[in-house]
Amino acid sequence: MKRLLIANRGEVVVRVLRTAREMGLETIAVYSEADQDMEYLSHADEAVQIGPAQPSKSYLNIESIISAALVWKANAIHPGYGFLSENPSFAALCEENGIAFIGPPSTALRTIGNKSRTKQVVKSLNIPTIPGSYSMISNVDQIITMARQLGMPVILKSLYGGGGRGMKVAYNENQLRQQFASVSSEANAAFGRNEVYMERYLSCPRHLEVQILADGQGGIQVLGDRECSIQRRHQKIIEEAPIPNIDAKTRDNLWKWSEMIISAIGFKGLGTVEYLMDQDGNTYFLEINGRLQVEHPVTEMVTGIDMVREQLMIAAGSRLSAGRVSISGHAIECRVNAENPAKNFMPTTGCVTSVRLPGGPGARVDTHLFPNCVISSYYDPLLVKLIAHNSTRAGSLKRMTRMLNETRIEGVITNIDLLLRLLANDKFLSGNGDTSLVMQLVKK
């Protein structure tokens, strides 16, 4: 592995570039016409334009990216997160062309990408799963019949989705009929697949995760757990590690179940096993993500492990020593987005006229932002990830509050004020935040 192409945009490109350069790899960054002035492009050894601003014609254009890799002699591709990061066809084409795909093999991506098939495996291990369909739902009549059996409300999801895209909640049959076409269409636009499945909707759950590394040769490491309950529109905005306010038995079950699941499906690479916890404390398997997560820095801060480096090492054939790593302190991440919480989190666009970002001990900032950076309507609104680490959760919260107060981004509306309100919320401070908390605050 000598030349690494990074098939993504924004802050994750900066993140991967840094580790790749430390490892002595030559790097190739790709970009769309809308991103041609991004500063991070100058940090790569080569920068290659792959198409117009529309993601379908650039960052989701498999042929264009593979062609760039072959022309520029890249022998590895890191897909980042989102876009093609969990696309089995993309991974398979990399394999066919002798290019190392930095992620699970295409066979594993096909398994975990089909959410219903994965749940069948998990259910066979006697691990609790959310009641729902275990196969694709092909028509409205089928979905109505199943919803009557499950009971309302239900949630429709893209079978191959992620990142909160392609998800709708229905509280009655009329809503369900309307949402079916909407979810199918949104899933097709975001992932190129329109298959849909359904689950019973858990009201106000907590969203919990376990981070796993597997070398595909039996070596599995648990890199701790994360709380990701603070979300808007099914997308996370605050994450922390380790999970606060759960008992030792629940944590042990989450780690044990995650090892069992990863082993059962023969997974290789970096993976996240996700769960939902209901208001009664019952925990259910949700899904597996086979990619670097946006919230990975909180795990890096409490473990000291560079997860991008581990991804690259596993792809290069490195073996892991099985076991669980030690956790030190507490870390919190806040996603600063270009969006207006007062207008249903509508994305905001424009030119960032000035930027001031925080620093200090235990403070990490991941961003691609720079003065005069243009925020486009074509892509995710994430601007900056702020990560605070301290020996205690209380210390991390104080540090994050200070970091948010020091952050200044002029030219676009951001969600910083909302993040500060969340950090001061009694429910969040007690470690009892759930997926409904953001909307409760916004409505006040």
116 in a structural domain: no
Cα distance between residue 226 and residue 244, in whole Å: 9
379 in a structural domain: yes
Among the listed residues 291, 335, 393, 399, the single catalytic one is 291
308 in a structural domain: yes
Nearest to 6 by CA among 39, 28, 33, 32: 28
Say which CATH number the domain at 243 has. 3.30.470.20
Quick one: 84 and 196 in the same domain? Answer: no
Active site residue 15: no
Of 150, 179, 200, the one marking the end of a domain is 200
Cα distance between residue 304 and residue 297, in whole Å: 10
Cα distance between residue 143 and residue 154, in whole Å: 10
Q: Where on the phi/psi map is residue 111: left (φ > 0), alpha (ψ -120 to 50), or beta?
A: alpha
Of 158, 183, 200, the one marking the end of a domain is 200
What's the structural domain count of the chain?
3
Say which CATH number the domain at 167 has. 3.30.1490.20
347 in a structural domain: yes
pTM of the model: 0.92
Q: What does the pLDDT read at residue 78?
A: 98
Quick one: 301 and 427 in the same domain? Answer: yes
Of 86, 102, 118, the one marking the end of a domain is 102
The CA-based dihedral angle spanning residues 355, 45, 379, 107, taken in that order and rounded to the nearest 10 degrees? -140
Quick one: 211 and 181 in the same domain? Answer: no
Burial degree of 33 (CB within 10 A; 0-12, 13-18, 19+): middle
Quick one: 245 and 393 in the same domain? Answer: yes
Quick one: 297 and 431 in the same domain? Answer: yes
Quick one: 25 and 82 in the same domain? Answer: yes
Quick one: 321 and 267 in the same domain? Answer: yes
Quick one: 284 and 355 in the same domain? Answer: yes
Quick one: 240 and 149 in the same domain? Answer: no
Digitized pLDDT (tens) for each residue of the chain, 444 residues in all: 999 999 999 999 999 999 999 999 999 999 999 999 999 999 999 999 999 999 999 999 999 999 999 999 999 999 999 999 999 999 999 999 999 999 999 999 998 987 778 888 999 999 999 988 767 777 888 889 889 988 899 998 877 666 667 788 999 999 998 888 888 777 776 666 777 888 889 989 999 999 999 998 889 999 999 999 999 988 999 999 999 999 999 999 999 999 999 999 999 999 999 999 999 999 999 999 999 999 999 999 999 999 999 999 999 999 997 677 999 999 999 999 999 999 999 999 999 999 999 999 999 999 999 999 999 999 999 999 999 999 999 999 999 999 999 999 999 999 999 999 999 999 999 999 999 999 999 987
Domain that holds residue 174: 131-200
Quick one: 254 and 387 in the same domain? Answer: yes
401 in a structural domain: yes
User: What percent of the chain is helix, strand and coil (3-state, nearest 5)?
Assistant: 35, 30, 35
Say which CATH number the domain at 80 has. 3.40.50.20
125 in a structural domain: no
Quick one: 373 and 416 in the same domain? Answer: yes
123 in a structural domain: no
For the record, the structure tokens of 269 come out as 């690479």
374 in a structural domain: yes
Quick one: 57 and 162 in the same domain? Answer: no
Cα distance between residue 111 and residue 91, in whole Å: 13
